[in-house]
Amino acid sequence: MGVLTGRTALVTGASRGIGRGIAERLARDGARVAVHYGRNETAAKETVAAIEAAGGAAFTIGVELGLPGDVEALWAEFDRHADGLDILVNNAGIGNTRPIDEITEQEFDRVFAVNVKAPFFIVRHGMARLRDGGRVINVSSGLARTAVMPDNMAYAMTKGALDVFSRDLSKVLGPRAITVNSVAPGIIDTDNTAGLLYGTEGGWAQAAAISALGRVGETADVADVVAFLASGGARWVTGSWVDATGGSLT
């Protein structure tokens, strides 16, 4: 039996990239996983199929975040499949924004609606469903602590806000033995970073050189950290910002 057997997890933005890696890892540890997606139903079903092929259990939830009624719709769909939640991973987000001299107010509002407002209200409406002793894990970014990519400023700002949310929420949910932490990836090989890694000459080597470990991160590198925080072994870790950048901030 896995360390998360009997528990239910919800991972937002789990159809691809880091979210998919997290969903598959939690399922491998025994959790039944709600695989949330915004638009790509096919990819979400592929994630579920991969989980089931490995002997796990999962189901999809399709709701586009950042729109009116999004959180209510997400929880209504979740309630059709489960009667409570043990692990919430707020991973869904817009990963890139244009420089300050190009971004529009509409784009700015959109990234904050998806990356900050949605996680806040997912928790706000999900607290009654979250069982005592549960886990909330917010996927942040190393860019919340470094100005290495200033053209991605608005995105980095959302992750800074998410970190404050994690810190303060840990005090709110602590009396129920629910831990809350942020996990901050660095550059991870996903379709979201394909332009950086594969679209420019020497992009991969430059990205690898940023890490103290000399390589580009993989989704499993982040998923393993999330899995630890979701486990009983992390029961005394809360309100923390966990650096999962491979030493990119050193």
Nearest to 91 by CA among 134, 126, 137, 60: 137
Residue 141 designated active-site = yes
Residue 159 designated active-site = yes
Report d(CA 247, CA 213) in Å as an integer: 7
**106 assigned to some structural domain:** yes
Give me the domain span that covers residue 55: 8-189+219-244
**Based on the structure, what is the number of domains in the chain?**
1
**Which of these is catalytic: 15, 37, 117, 155?**
155
**79 assigned to some structural domain:** yes
Q: For 19-50, what is each residue's pLDDT tens digit?
A: 999 999 999 999 999 999 999 999 999 999 99
Nearest to 155 by CA among 112, 189, 196, 195: 112
**Which of these is catalytic: 15, 37, 117, 140?**
140
H-helix or E-strand spanning residue 18: helix 17-28
**113 DSSP 8-state letter:** I
**2 assigned to some structural domain:** no
Q: Residues 6 or more apart from 98 whose CB is under 8 A from it?
A: 107, 151, 154
Instruction: Give the CATH number, domain containing residue 83.
Output: 3.40.50.720
End-to-end CA distance of the chain: 38
Q: Residues 6 or more apart from 209 whose CB is under 8 A from it?
A: none
Report the range of poorest mean pLDDT among 99-103, 144-148, 152-156, 207-211. 207-211
**209 assigned to some structural domain:** no
**1 assigned to some structural domain:** no
Strand 130-139 and strand 32-37: pairing?
A: unpaired
Count helices and strands in the chain by DSSP H and E runs? 9, 7
**Which of these is catalytic: 15, 159, 170, 211?**
159
**212 assigned to some structural domain:** no
Is 24:50 a contact under the CB 8 Å cutoff?
Answer: yes
**229 assigned to some structural domain:** yes
Task: Please compute the mean of the pLDDT values over residues 87-115 and round it to a whole number.
Answer: 97
Q: For 126-170, what is each residue's pLDDT tens digit?
A: 999 999 999 999 999 999 999 989 999 999 999 999 999 999 999
pLDDT-derived band at 195, boundaries 50, 70, 90: low
**Which of these is catalytic: 15, 45, 117, 141?**
141
Work out the widest C-alpha separation in the chain, in whole angstroms. Answer: 53
**175 DSSP 8-state letter:** G
Query: CA dist 82 to 35, 60, 124, Å?
Result: 13, 12, 18
- Number of neighbours of residue 247 by Cβ within 10 angstroms: 12
**203 assigned to some structural domain:** no
pTM of structure? 0.96
Residue with tokens 């990963």: 95
pLDDT-derived band at 189, boundaries 50, 70, 90: confident
Return the percentage of the chain with pLDDT > 90, whole number: 89
Task: Please compute the mean of the pLDDT values over residues 181-194 and round it to a whole number.
Answer: 86
